[in-house]
């Protein structure tokens, strides 16, 4: 075929139609081949993905844990048997029905409805939540749902593992309830409470605390403790809290002065530390009780303790501190002297004109001392009609002698009682510190006291200066005191106990206790009686505390929880301002009620009209110790004494029982005292019962209790055999009529 023919042929339409047809078949065949290959590749890839997803589901659901698997579209595709059992539904119900058909309800921690779609929704990251499954009317099943995300070729699967959270839920509820109860208790507590963080910032405080310091709860929150505590105490408080936080102590107690808005409040503050679960300190818990009024009364008592309420002069304790300070200052030789004075005929004046006139006489004499004994002399009243003056001056003995003369001159003016002119005189003893020999306050007072007794023996209105021959007596007294102190330290004093019985049952209700001292020279003696022989001086003050300590130990080792011990107090012990606190401390150490220690006070001490002594006895009753009037012989005087001091009972003098049953006057007195004590609601104890006829007469008259040789002598406490019958239910037969008279048990 020539070129011309070929060109002509190409120009024909039929030719191009054939070409196009061939090309179409070629491309269609190629497309079919490519589509088949792609379809085959997709089928192969889908098979691989299916194998991967199947293995993932198999690994998640064949575990022994409760697991539900959700696919990327939020459809539940698998669940373990443990999961369906825990949620109380079948696998088909859980998976086949879909989320809308799940036959159980879900609730959250606040008991609010929880949608199933939220429970089984796919997650983008791991996490957990607390929920409960509720099937019908059954109790909720509390679970913790842990969400884990597993990527796959077709998207991320979410595996939900369920764990039983019943115990956790119960613990959480209990903790929340505990917190709520604590908050309610804190808010309703009458005691002030505050929670403070370790930076001293108040986190929470109750209304009682806010009321105590005179502000509002809102004003105290977020306030620094340093802003409400007096600056002088904050450093001490901070040091104590540091020891508390470090674990050196478990609790600290302080008397703290709070200052809020210019108002001062004192409180006893107990502070403890609250720790986290890991043992680290978290915050402080503070409890505070208002003691402002108690502290004011205490301060008032302390001020009054420095001065005699009747005369306004310094009292014994204040004078002894002043004398000891003067001796401790050094250089006192020749510059220190003491005058001891006693009013002559004071008892006769009291008996003739009464205690009111006696008080006036004491005030009159104190006014003389104030006028004459001016600075540098210091006048004081030791008690009763005994006065003392401390002279601090050059040539002190000469100044003291001149002062004594001035006192005698001033007393020449008679004391007037009504229409009577009554002369008053004083016996004065002087002792001065001289030489280099060591002397103490005890020696100086003893020497002046001995000189005063020499003056009194020589007549009225006289002065004697201590002389060397009096040193033997003072030395003997000092040696005896040293021996007694040594015996106290060594524990050589023995406790003796004499039984007190109930006259109706004859059972032992208590014991009168006393100390015995086996002195190498004097033999077995009562140390208090030995010192009473030395010009009315008393034994060292530790003697009474030692006796009470022994009595508490004696009661603590006995099985009778209501048996009591009776202790006799001398004047010096009663006047000791810390006696009540010491007794409370002793009873606390032996875990014993204070009412089991009965204190006996001779009515003669109170009947003198000494206001300070009366106040001291009343103060003892405020500590819970029953106090009885001792050596009572007549109802008239006893009624005045008990009414003035609020005694809890009386004990008769031994002479009253000795006259029974023959003496009509004694019988009448016994009956009157018994009737009077029963009407007032105070206990009645008869002393000195020597035989059965006396015991019967006392019981017939209405006495409650008795003691004496008939019921047993005083024996060493170690030999007392406790029995259940020695434990009465009450010391008093009936409750007291007056609330001021406390029944002791």
Q: Is 578:609 a contact under the CB 8 Å cutoff?
A: no
Going from the C-alpha of 302 to that of each of 233, 267, 305, 316, 582, the distances in angstroms are 21, 19, 5, 13, 16
One domain for residues 307 and 279: no
Q: Could you tell me where the beta strands, DSSP code E, fall in 633-730?
A: 649-652, 683-686, 705-706, 715-716
Give the predicted TM-score (pTM) of the model: 0.41
Question: Among the ranges 64-68, 84-88, 537-541, which has the highest mean pLDDT value?
Answer: 64-68
Higher pLDDT, 438 or 660: 660
Q: Is 684:704 a contact under the CB 8 Å cutoff?
A: yes
Residue 733: inside a domain, yes or no?
no
Residue 398's H or E segment, with its range, is: helix 396-410
Average pLDDT, integer, range 434-441: 64
pLDDT at 159: 87
Can you give the three-state secondary structure of 598-624, one letter per residue? EEEEEHHHHHCCCHHHHHHHHHHHCCC
CB within 8 Å of 186: residues ≥ 6 apart? 193, 204, 206
Average pLDDT, integer, range 198-223: 87
Decide which of 441, 466, 491 is a domain's last residue: 466
Question: Among the ranges 109-113, 272-276, 438-442, 714-718, which has the highest mean pLDDT value?
Answer: 714-718
Average pLDDT, the chain: 78
Query: What is the token pair recorded at 221?
Result: 């929150």
Residue 728: inside a domain, yes or no?
no
CATH number at residue 432: 3.30.70.270
Q: What sign results for the dihedral spanned by CA atoms 519, 523, 529, 531?
A: negative
pLDDT(435) > 80: no
Average pLDDT, integer, range 511-526: 82
What is the spatial distance between Cα 65 and Cα 159, in angstroms, rounded to a whole number? 11
Long-range CB contacts (< 8 A, 24+ apart) of 360-367? 360/415, 360/417, 361/415, 361/422, 361/424, 362/310, 362/311, 363/310, 363/311, 364/415, 364/424, 365/411, 365/424, 365/426, 366/308, 366/311, 366/312, 366/313
Q: Is 400:341 a contact under the CB 8 Å cutoff?
A: no
One domain for residues 285 and 304: no
Residue 562: inside a domain, yes or no?
yes
One domain for residues 305 and 322: yes
Residue 675: inside a domain, yes or no?
yes
One domain for residues 400 and 313: yes
One domain for residues 639 and 659: yes
**Which residue matches tokens 């103060």?**
619
Q: Could you tell me where the beta strands, DSSP code E, fall in 384-522?
A: 386-392, 415-417, 420-422, 425-432, 463-465, 494-502, 508-519
- The model's confidence at residue 524, banded by pLDDT at 50, 70 and 90, is confident
Q: Is 109:126 a contact under the CB 8 Å cutoff?
A: no
- The model's confidence at residue 428, banded by pLDDT at 50, 70 and 90, is very high
CATH number at residue 267: 3.30.450.20
pLDDT(221) > 90: no
What is the spatial distance between Cα 339 and Cα 401, in angstroms, rounded to a whole number? 9
pLDDT(613) > 80: no
**Range with lowest mean pLDDT among 112-126, 228-242, 718-732:** 718-732
Torsion angles phi and psi, residue 309, rounded to 5:
-70, -25
Decide which of 466, 490, 507 is a domain's last residue: 466
pLDDT(566) > 90: yes
Q: Is 509:563 a contact under the CB 8 Å cutoff?
A: yes
Question: Among the ranges 213-227, 343-357, 464-478, which has the highest mean pLDDT value?
Answer: 213-227
Relative to beta strand 649-652, strand 683-686 is parallel
One domain for residues 213 and 343: no
pLDDT(51) > 70: no
**Which residue matches tokens 């008795």?**
706
pLDDT(22) > 80: no
Residue 741: inside a domain, yes or no?
no
Residue 182: inside a domain, yes or no?
no
Instruction: Look up the domain containing 144 and give its range.
Output: 63-168
One domain for residues 634 and 669: yes
pLDDT at 385: 87
pLDDT(734) > 80: no
User: Which positions are annotated as active-site residues?
Assistant: 385
Relative to beta strand 523-525, strand 508-519 is antiparallel
- The model's confidence at residue 739, banded by pLDDT at 50, 70 and 90, is very low
Tally of domains within the chain? 5
Q: Is the peptide bond before 480 cis (omega within 30 degrees of 0)?
A: no
One domain for residues 53 and 68: no
What is the spatial distance between Cα 337 and Cα 445, in angstroms, rounded to a whole number? 10
Q: What is the pLDDT of residues 168-189, one digit of tens each?
A: 777 667 666 666 666 776 777 7
One domain for residues 420 and 490: no
Q: What is the pLDDT of residues 274-323, one digit of tens each?
A: 887 778 888 888 888 888 888 888 777 766 667 788 888 988 888 988 88
pLDDT at 387: 94
Buried b (16+ CB within 10 A) or exposed e, 249-284: eeebebebbbebeeeebbbbbebebeeeeeeebebb
**Range with lowest mean pLDDT among 68-72, 293-297, 610-614:** 610-614
pLDDT at 725: 46
Query: What is the token pair recorded at 187?
Result: 């808010």
Q: Is 481:515 a contact under the CB 8 Å cutoff?
A: no
Question: Among the ranges 88-102, 472-486, 610-624, which has the highest mean pLDDT value?
Answer: 610-624
Residue 552: inside a domain, yes or no?
yes
Q: What sign results for the dihedral spanned by CA atoms 209, 212, 217, 218?
A: negative
Residue 238: inside a domain, yes or no?
yes
One domain for residues 593 and 514: yes
DSSP 409: H
One domain for residues 661 and 682: yes
One domain for residues 136 and 243: no
Decide which of 273, 290, 307 is a domain's last residue: 290
pLDDT(404) > 90: yes
């Amino acid at each position: 075929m020539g070129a011309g023919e070929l060109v002509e042929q190409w120009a024909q339409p039929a030719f191009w139609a054939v070409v196009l047809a061939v090309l179409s078949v070629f491309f269609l065949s190629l497309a079919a081949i490519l589509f088949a290959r792609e379809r085959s590749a997709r089928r192969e890839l889908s098979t691989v993905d299916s194998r991967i997803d199947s293995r993932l589901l198999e690994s998640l659901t064949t575990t022994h844990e409760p697991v539900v698997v959700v696919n990327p579209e939020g459809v539940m595709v698998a669940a373990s048997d443990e999961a369906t059992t825990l949620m109380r539904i079948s696998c088909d119900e859980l998976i086949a029905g879909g989320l809308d058909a799940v036959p159980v309800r879900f609730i959250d921690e606040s008991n609010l409805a929880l949608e199933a779609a939220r429970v089984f929704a796919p997650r983008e990251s791991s996490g957990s939540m607390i929920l409960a499954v509720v099937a019908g009317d059954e109790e909720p099943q509390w679970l913790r749902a842990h969400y884990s995300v597993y990527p796959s070729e077709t998207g991320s699967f979410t595996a939900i593992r369920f764990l039983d959270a019943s115990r956790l839920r119960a613990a959480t509820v209990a903790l929340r309830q505990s917190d709520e109860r604590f908050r309610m208790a804190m808010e309703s507590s009458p005691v002030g409470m505050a929670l403070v963080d370790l930076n001293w910032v108040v986190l929470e405080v109750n209304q009682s605390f806010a009321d105590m310091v005179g502000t509002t709860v809102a004003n105290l929150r977020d306030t620094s403790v340093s802003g409400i505590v007096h600056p002088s105490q904050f450093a001490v408080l901070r040091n104590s809290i540091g020891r508390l936080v470090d674990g050196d102590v478990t609790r600290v107690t302080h008397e703290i002065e709070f200052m809020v808005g210019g108002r001062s409040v004192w409180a006893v503050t107990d502070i403890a530390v609250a720790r986290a679960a890991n043992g680290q300190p978290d915050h402080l818990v503070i409890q505070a009780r208002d003691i402002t009024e108690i502290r004011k009364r205490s301060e008032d008592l302390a001020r009054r303790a420095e001065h005699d309420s009747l005369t306004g002069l310094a009292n014994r304790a204040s004078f002894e501190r002043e004398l000891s300070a003067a001796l401790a200052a050094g250089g006192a030789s020749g510059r220190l002297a003491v005058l001891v004075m006693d009013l002559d005929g004071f008892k006769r004046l009291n008996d003739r004109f009464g205690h009111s006139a006696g008080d006036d006489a004491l005030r009159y004499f104190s006014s003389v001392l104030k006028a004459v004994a001016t600075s540098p002399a210091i006048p004081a009243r030791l008690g009763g009609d005994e006065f003392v003056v401390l002279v601090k001056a050059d040539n002190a003995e000469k100044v003291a002698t001149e002062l004594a003369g001035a006192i005698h001159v001033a007393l020449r003016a008679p004391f007037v009682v009504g229409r009577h002119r009554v002369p008053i005189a004083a016996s004065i003893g002087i002792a001065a510190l001289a030489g280099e020999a060591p002397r103490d306050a005890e020696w100086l007072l003893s020497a002046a006291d001995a000189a005063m007794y020499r003056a009194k023996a020589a007549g009225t209105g006289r002065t004697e200066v201590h002389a060397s021959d009096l040193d033997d007596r003072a030395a003997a007294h000092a040696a005896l005191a040293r021996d007694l102190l040594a015996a106290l330290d060594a524990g050589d004093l023995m406790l003796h106990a004499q039984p007190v019985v109930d006259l109706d049952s004859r059972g032992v209700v208590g014991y009168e206790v006393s100390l015995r001292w086996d002195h190498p020279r004097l033999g077995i003696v009562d140390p208090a009686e030995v010192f009473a022989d030395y010009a009315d001086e008393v034994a060292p003050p530790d003697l009474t505390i030692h006796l009470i300590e022994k009595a508490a130990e004696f009661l603590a080792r006995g099985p009778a929880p209501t048996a009591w011990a009776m202790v006799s107090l001398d004047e010096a012990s009663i006047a000791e301002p810390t006696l009540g606190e010491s007794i409370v401390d002793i009873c606390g150490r032996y875990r014993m009620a204070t009412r089991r220690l009965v204190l006996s006070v001779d009515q003669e001490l109170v009947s003198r009209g000494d206001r300070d002594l009366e106040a001291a006895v009343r103060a003892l009753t405020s500590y819970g110790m029953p106090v009885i009037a001792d050596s009572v012989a007549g109802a008239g005087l006893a009624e005045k004494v008990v009414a003035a001091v609020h005694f809890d009972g009386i004990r008769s003098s031994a002479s009253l029982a000795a006259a029974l049953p023959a003496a009509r006057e004694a019988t009448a007195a016994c009956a009157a005292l018994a009737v009077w004590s029963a009407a007032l609601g105070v206990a009645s104890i008869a002393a000195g019962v020597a035989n059965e006829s006396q015991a019967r007469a006392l019981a017939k008259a209405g006495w409650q209790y008795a003691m004496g040789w008939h019921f047993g002598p005083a024996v060493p406490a170690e030999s007392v055999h406790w029995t259940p019958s020695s434990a009465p239910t009450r010391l008093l037969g009936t409750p007291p009529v007056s609330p001021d008279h406390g029944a002791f048990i």
